[in-house]
Amino acid sequence: MSDIRNSPFLFTVGAFVALFVTIQSLVFIAGAWKEGKRLGLSATIMRKALSGSAVFSVVPSIAILLAVLTLAGALGLPLPWIRLSVVGAITYELPAAETAAQAFGTTVKTSITDPTVFSAIAWAMSIGSVFAMILIIIFAKSIQSGIHKAQIKDTAWSGLLISAMFMGLISAFLGNALGGGLISILALLSSAAVMALFGLAIKKAGFKQLENFAMPVSMLSGMAVAALYALATGGVAS
């Protein structure tokens, strides 16, 4: 079977998903606009909210596009495009894809050309992210009406819990990278160093607008160092 990752069929599915998201956004904007007028909000304020948010979103959206690019080597273009158009974020999609790939004895470090593994990764990414949507259907109304507000009283602990969960995930993958040899350690250290520089620039020098680019640029730097190192050593490291 030819490579299904970049097949016209998958691009068509991607276009359908993009259309779905566009229509939903337009329907919600129209509904909110109508209700806003009924409440007496001026058209100027509402137009400002729309245009302000649109401008605000351009740079982070380019960062999301770069995340699509990082996944494209393993999974082709359409699947990362679809996943980052709905529900996803790179910090979820990549670990989800990798753990699924590993269950099938492979890794997203290589191009996923086996159709069965590719479909398994698509299933894993999709099923893994459905839980929040189910919770919203069941609980969003009651949360909005205040019933569940009490449950998150201890915000300090819930914030720490998220950090701890991520730290478990990160430590497993960092350990894995250390076991991956010199090139893998170089990529890790380079991206960490670039992220640390971004951190300094954002926190110490006040360049807040760099925030959105910190993650994708750090990732691309790590990847670029790996490619350059392989080139310099004649492709022995991969």
What values do phi and psi take at 106, rounded to 5? -135, -165
Residues whose CB is less than 8 angstroms from the CB of residue 18 and which lie 6 or more positions away in sequence, other chains included: 85
Task: Give 1 or 205: the residue with its C-beta nearer to other proteins.
Answer: 1
CB of 147 to other proteins, least distance (A): 11
Alpha helices by DSSP H, listed for the chain, are 8-39, 43-75, 78-85, 90-103, 115-128, 131-144, 155-178, 182-203, 211-232
Shortest Å, Cβ 206 to other proteins: 17
Confirm or reject binding of residue 205 to other proteins (CB under 8 A).
no
Q: Which of 43, 60, 147, 207 touches other proteins by CB under 8 A?
A: 60
Q: Cβ 211 to other proteins, closest distance in Å?
A: 9
The nearest distance, CB 210 to other proteins, in angstroms, is 13
| Choice from 43, 147, 196, 207 touching other proteins (CB under 8 A) | 196
Interface with other proteins in residues 74-93 (CB under 8 A): 74, 77-79, 81-82, 84-92
Residue 154 in 3-state DSSP?
A: coil
Name the residue with tokens 């770069």.
66
Tell me the residue type at 184.
Answer: S
CB-CB contact of 107 with 101 (8 Å): yes
Residues 16-45 that bind other proteins (CB under 8 A): 16-18, 20-22, 24-29, 31-33, 35-36, 38-41, 45
Distance CA 224, CA 238 (A): 13
In the window 102-141, what residues touch other proteins (CB under 8 A)? 102-104, 107-111, 115-120, 122-137, 139-141
